[in-house]
Amino acid sequence: MVLALAGLFAVLIFTPDANHKDESRQALAETLRAPAVFPLSFQSSIPTASHANREVSYRPVYPYSIIPGGVRSVKELKNAIAHDPLVQAHYRGFDLGKARIVQLTKTRAVHVSYRRGSGIYWTKKRITLSKGETLITDGKNTSRTRCGNRISDPPVAPSSPDEPPPALFDEPVVPPPAAPLSPPYDSPPVTPGGSVPIVPIVPIFPGGGSPPPGGTKPPTPTPILVPEPDTFYLLIVSLPVLWLVLKKRGS
């Protein structure tokens, strides 16, 4: 009996740690499967599926991005420059002190920079930027916020003989979901009054309420499964009884 309880106690203590190690291995495997178009500095930041809904933003990732996932503020651009030597070299001469986010008021056709492996090239063909697209500029130099790729009206070197077709730049390799499946764990929805709403797990009155409109028969409620008492709780309760039995035998 004692050995059985001890074994059960060990399982309860060490199982969560084993699960955590399995999840870490899964996260590592998912990170190593990141597409080759991403720089190494970005691969380690790709969220795993189990933590995806913790992200407060759902951004598409475009092929050949200078900054995969793009930037939505000057602060994010500064962070990318600080952590990626290739981005830092490409943005040399960009005045971050004057940087601001702007929006295109009309469609433009420009040359854009793009990242391929460990190199950065410029397109020989012009890429069309749609009206309304957001850019980040210091007044002289301008980049696309969605990918960090810089833009230029005149052609810029170097170019690549292996240049991707223009349409490929607009096809996300990691598209965002149509809508978040659930809110981030760390950001519960707030009601107009400022308090966090309490959502019941099961209906308070499963059989109550009026029938649905149209005279249709309401669906049969799904039986609610009542979980068994927690094994750890049973173990704690049984320990004093076991102690009394052993003490009585010893006397």
Reported in sequence order, the residue ranges of the chain that DSSP labels E, i.e. its strands, are: 100-103, 108-116, 119-122, 127-129, 134-137, 142-144, 150-152
Token pair listed for 8: 């059960």
Residue matched to tokens 């995806």: 52
- 238 three-class SS: helix
Q: Using an 8 Å Cβ cutoff, are 88 and 81 in contact?
A: yes
Euclidean distance between CA atoms 123 and 210, whole angstroms: 64
State yes or no: pLDDT of 250 exceeds 80: no
Containing H/E element for 24? helix 2-32
Provide, rounded to the nearest whole percent, the portion of the chain with pLDDT above 70: 49
Of the ranges 80-89, 179-188, 211-220, which one carries the lowest mean pLDDT score? 179-188
The predicted pLDDT at position 188 comes to 46
Euclidean distance between CA atoms 63 and 59, whole angstroms: 13
Using CA of residue 123, residue 126, residue 131, residue 135, what is the dihedral sign? positive
The predicted pLDDT at position 173 comes to 81
State yes or no: pLDDT of 29 exceeds 70: no
Of the ranges 94-98, 142-146, 195-199, which one carries the lowest mean pLDDT score? 195-199
The predicted pLDDT at position 246 comes to 75
